[in-house]
Amino acid sequence: MQYREIGKTGLNASIVGFGGMRFFNKPEEQAIRTVHRCLDRGITFFETGAYGDGKSEVVLGQALKGRREGVTLANKAPVSGLQDGKKIREHLEGALKREGVHTFDLFSFWGTNTREIFDNLKKADGGMAALEKAKRDGLIRAIGITTHAQPETIVEFVEEYPFDCVTLKEHLLYSRQQETIAKLHERGVGVVVMTPLAGGMAAQPSDEIRARLAEAGFTAPFLALRYLTSNPGVTSAISGMTAPEEVDENVKAGETGAPLMDKEREFIDYIRGKLTGLGENFCTACGYCMPCPQGVNIPGVFRLWNIMRGYGSAAYSKNEYGKMRGEIHWADMPGKSAEHCVECGECLEKCPNDIPIIEELKQAHADLTEGVS
C-alpha cells in the first residue's frame, strides 16, 4: 500500500481508504472483520460520520480498539441545517465519545455544498471558530470540508478559508473534478475522493465490458480506483467496503501510485467511449445547446442516459436523474430534468451534431424514469 500526506498537515493516509457509510449494516462480526482486514492489508485512513444514528462510529470504534496506532481517523459534523458553532462542538464531542477516542486527526464540515452554508460557517459564532478552538483544545488535528458543490464553488471555498483537506465526489462514470483536484494540490490542500466506485455502480458494468476487462486481467473496481489513485493530487480514495473479500480486491489499486500504464489507460478510454459514443449521432456534451430557456440540463440528461445504455449502470443513472428532477443542490447534474422541455426548438438550431434533441429528451426521460415511483 502507498501513502500520501494530507495536504501539509504531516498526517499520512493510505491512497485507498475506508469509508464507513455502509459497513455497519452487515452483521457486526463481519463489519469488524472487514475493518481488521483493512488494517492487515495496509489501509490506515478511516473516514465515517453519524451514519445509522451513530452506529457506524460505534462499530468502527470497537473494531479499532487496541489497533489505533498508525491509523488516521476522520469524522465530520453535518452543516446543511446551518448549525451554529455550539451545535458543531456538541456533535464533535458526541462523535469522539461514540468512537471511544480522544482526538480525530481530520474533522470536516459535512455537506458544505452551497454559498449559504459556507457563509454560515464563517460567522463569529459559526463552525470555523468552533473547530479552530477544538483544534487548540487538542480534540482535532486538521480541518476540512466534505462537499458535493460544483467545481468552481469548491475552489472559491478553499481560496477563502485555509482548509487542510477537501473531500469531494469524483469517479470514472462522471469525471468532472480533475481540474479542481489539480488546483487544490497546487495549494497544498489534501484531497479525499468519496464514492470512487459511484456507490458501487462502477463495479457493475455490462457483461460486454466485464468480459473485455477480464481478458486483460482487470476488474471494474480495480480500474475505477486506479483512475483516481494514479492522480498525485488525490490523497486517498475512500471505498465503502462491507466484506473482507472486497478489501482484498480494492487494495490492489493501492499497491502503486504511479501514473496509469498504457494498458490501463487504453481500457479507461474504452470505457469512456462506451459512456459517450453511442451510435453515429450522439451528444458529446459540447454545451452549444445551452442555456435552455426553461433551465433543462440537456447535456446532463443525455450524459445519464448514455451511462445507462453504454455502461449498463441503470441504477446510478436513475438515482442521479431523480436528484435532477427534485432539483437537489448536490446532484451530479444540476438543473432541470427533461419533463420541463416546452419544445421551443432553440436547442435544435444550435446543435452541431443535428441531434433531434426534443425527441431524444422524451425517450431519455422515459428510460430514466422506468420503474421509478
Render pLDDT for 223-274 as a digit per residue (tens, 0 to 9): 999 999 999 999 999 999 999 999 998 999 999 989 999 999 999 988 888 7
pLDDT at position 286 over 80? no
pLDDT tens track for 26-55: 999 999 999 999 999 999 999 999 999 999
pLDDT of res. 280? 47
Please state the three-class secondary structure of 65-134 as a single string.
Answer: CCCCCCCEEEEEEECCCCCCHHHHHHHHHHHHHHHCCCCEEEEEEECCCCHHHHHHHCCCCCHHHHHHHH
Q: Assign 352 a pLDDT band (cuts: 50, 70, 90).
A: confident
pLDDT at position 23 over 50? yes
Residue 180's contacts (CB-CB under 8 Å, 6 or more residues apart) are 151, 154, 155, 168
pLDDT tens track for 172-223: 888 889 999 999 999 999 999 999 998 787 888 888 888 999 998 889 999 9
pLDDT at position 74 over 90? yes
Predicted TM-score of the model (pTM): 0.85
Residue 142's contacts (CB-CB under 8 Å, 6 or more residues apart) are 6, 7, 9, 11, 105, 106, 107, 135, 164, 165, 190
**Which residue is listed with cell 448549525?**
83
The CATH number fitting domain 3-268, selected from 3.30.479.10, 3.90.170.10, 3.20.20.100, 3.30.70.270: 3.20.20.100
pLDDT at position 340 over 60? yes
**How many residues are listed for the chain in this entry?**
373
Q: Are 56 and 73 in contact (CB under 8 A)?
A: no
Q: Spell out the domain ranges in the chain.
A: 3-268, 277-369
pLDDT at position 325 over 90? yes
pLDDT of res. 334? 86
Residue type, 340: H
pLDDT of res. 277? 54
